[in-house]
Amino acid sequence: MFEAQPTLLIESGNSSWKAARLRANALEYCSRGSDFGSLRNWLRERPEQRIVLATVGDENDAVLLVSELQQRGYEIYRVQTSDITHFTHCYTMPEKLGVDRWLTMVALRDRPLPVAIVDVGTAITLDVMNIGGVHLGGWIAPGFLLMQESLVSRSRRLAVHEHEPQHLLGTSTEEAISLGCAAALQGFVEQAIQTANGVLNRQPYELYLTGGGVRHLNLAQLPPHQLRPHLVLEGLQAWAKERL
């Protein structure tokens, strides 16, 4: 059983990574960082020898990391989108479904109600899943920083506004871009909720929000929801229960 030895679960996304430890069948969040280099350095100090890894981003970096870890004696499992019990793909080519999106649904596949999952990261995504783990489909759009970067990259005079704006209207171009992108992000979520209502024929469902970009949302404007910041790691835990 996978509980028999210490196991690290690692989610490596487009712009950051985070890790959790499985201890007595419980998920214990333990660290995060910004790139593969910091992940390599952090792993050098870890006593755990078994790693369950999910990566989104540069494939060459992922392959190199796995090779390095194997050479250093780690028992490593790289999780990729595949078939798993109690989950039904809607994609005709399931391997094209991002492993991060898939894992958020794997974590929630046994819920007693349908679920809508909004993951606010480098990209913002919506996925809707019916009872029994039936994926109905989803949306993908640029996340908050990616929206800003797409605009400021066209001008040498602009930069991404890294601080939360203090006004309703921007008093600089950078601040105006930040406010506009935050409004677009909010609009995505509100439209996603309306769409989930329609697709599910207005039957009750559970709404889950995850990802670091949730902090840019006006949560008070949204219907009842659950914040699950480590939902991908929860999916890795569910995968490990079934596969190890």
Residue 61 lies in a domain: yes
Residues 189 and 131 in one domain: yes
Q: How far apart are CA 20 and CA 216, in angstroms?
A: 24
Give CA separation, 168 vs 80, 108, 147, 179, 191, in Å. 42, 36, 19, 8, 21
Q: How far apart are CA 210 and CA 55, in angstroms?
A: 17
From the list 61, 83, 100, 127, the catalytic residue is 100
Catalytic annotation present for 100: yes
- Which candidate, 200, 219, 185, 191, places its Cα nearest to that of 128? 200
Residue 208 lies in a domain: yes
Residues 39 and 98 in one domain: no
Phi and psi angles of residue 163, each rounded to the nearest 5 degrees, phi first: -105, 150
pLDDT attached to residue 1: 47
Residue 234 lies in a domain: no
Q: How far apart are CA 235 and CA 222, in angstroms?
A: 25
Distance of CA 91 to the CA centre of its chain: 19
**Torsion 16-22-28-31 (CA) sign:** negative
Q: For a pLDDT cut of 70, what percent of the chain falls above it?
A: 97
Q: How far apart are CA 43 and CA 37, in angstroms?
A: 10
Residue 243 lies in a domain: no
Residue 241 lies in a domain: no
Tokens of 49: 């020898």
Lowest mean pLDDT segment, chosen from 24-33, 127-136, 202-211: 24-33
Enclosing domain of residue 7 = 2-78
Residues 139 and 54 in one domain: no
Q: How far apart are CA 225 and CA 26, in angstroms?
A: 23
Q: Identify the band that residue 158 occupies on the pLDDT scale cut at 50, 70 and 90.
A: confident
CATH number at residue 213: 3.30.420.40
pLDDT tens figures, 56-114: 978 888 898 899 889 988 899 999 999 999 999 999 999 999 999 999 999 999 999 99
**14/139: higher pLDDT:** 139
pLDDT tens figures, 159-175: 777 667 678 898 888 88
The pTM of the full predicted model, rounded to 2 decimals, is 0.92
Mean pLDDT for the stretch of residues 218-227: 97
Q: How far apart are CA 184 and CA 143, in angstroms?
A: 9
Residues 177 and 204 in one domain: yes
Indicate the SS3 state at residue 137: strand
Predicted confidence (pLDDT) at residue 192 exceeds the cutoff of 90: yes
Q: Identify the band that residue 4 occupies on the pLDDT scale cut at 50, 70 and 90.
A: low
pLDDT tens figures, 25-51: 788 988 899 888 888 888 888 888 899
Query: What domain count does the chain have?
Result: 2
What is the residue whose two structure tokens read 């996340």? 143
Which one-letter amino acid corresponds to residue 102?
Answer: W
Residues 199 and 119 in one domain: yes
